[in-house]
Amino acid sequence: MEKTKRIVKLTVNKEIHEIAINVNRTLLEVLRENLSLTGTKESCGQGACGSCTVLLDGLPVRSCLLLAIEAEGRDITTIEGLSKGEQLHPVQDAFIEHHAIQCGFCSPGMILTATAFLDRNPKPTEDEIRHALSGNICRCTGYAKIIKAVKALADSRR
C-alpha cells in the first residue's frame, strides 16, 4: 500500500514546523487544525472569496486551493505573523483607525492582501487598490472603509 501520509516541513511566520499530514490536506486545513493558526479563515473553500488568503513568498494566495505539501520550502505568512508582539502592523492599525472591520471574517485576508500590495506598490491610486483587493469579498459590504484605510495609510507614507 502506497503512503498517503508524509512528513512535511513548513516555514510559517518564520518558524519551521515538521508535521506528519495526509497529502490531500490543504494549507488552510493544516494551518488551522495542526498549527492552531485560526486567524486564516475558511469561507467558500473554492477559491472564490479570499478569506483564506496567506502570503507565499510575500505574494497573496488562496490557502484553500493549495496543498500543504506544495507549500514546502516556501515562506508562509499568516495574519498571526504580521504583528510584532503587542505592536500591530501599520495596515492593521489603519483598519482599526478607519473602522474597516465589521464582522471581521474577511479582515485577515484583506489585511494580508493589502500588506503585500503596499510592499510592492507603496504609492497606489485608488483604482489600483480596488484591483488589488478585488479577489477579497466582504459580505458586510464594508469596502468603502477598507479602501479608505489602505489609501490613508499609503498617503501617510508619501
Partner 1 sequence: MRMQPFVYLEPKTLKEALIMLDQNKEKLKIISGGTELIPLLKLRLIKPQYIMSLKKLSKLKGIREQGSKIIIGASTTLAEIAESHVMNSLFKGIVDATKAVAAPQIQNIATIAGNLLQDSRCLYYNQSEMVRGGLEPCYKLNGHLCRAVKGGKRCFSVYQGDLAPILIAFNAKVKLEKKDGTKTVSVSELFSGNGKQPINIQEDELLTKIILPLPKKNTGSSYQKLRMRGSIDYPLASAASVFHSDKNGNIVDGCVVIGAAGPSPKIVPMASFGNKKELDNSFIDNVAQNAYKIAETVNNQALPGSYRRKVITVLVKRAINSSLRDMRGGN
Binding site for partner 1 (CB under 8 A): 2-4, 6, 22-26, 29, 45-48, 50, 53, 56, 59-62, 64-67, 69-70, 113, 131-132, 134-137
- The whole-angstrom separation of Cα 41 and Cα 53 is 8
Residue closer to partner 1 (CB basis): 131 or 157:
131
> How far apart are CB 128 and partner 1 at their closest, in Å?
11
In the complex, least distance from residue 156 CB atom to partner 1, rounded to whole angstroms:
24
Least distance from partner 1 to the Cβ atom of residue 86, Å = 29
Nearer to partner 1, 94 or 129 (CB): 129
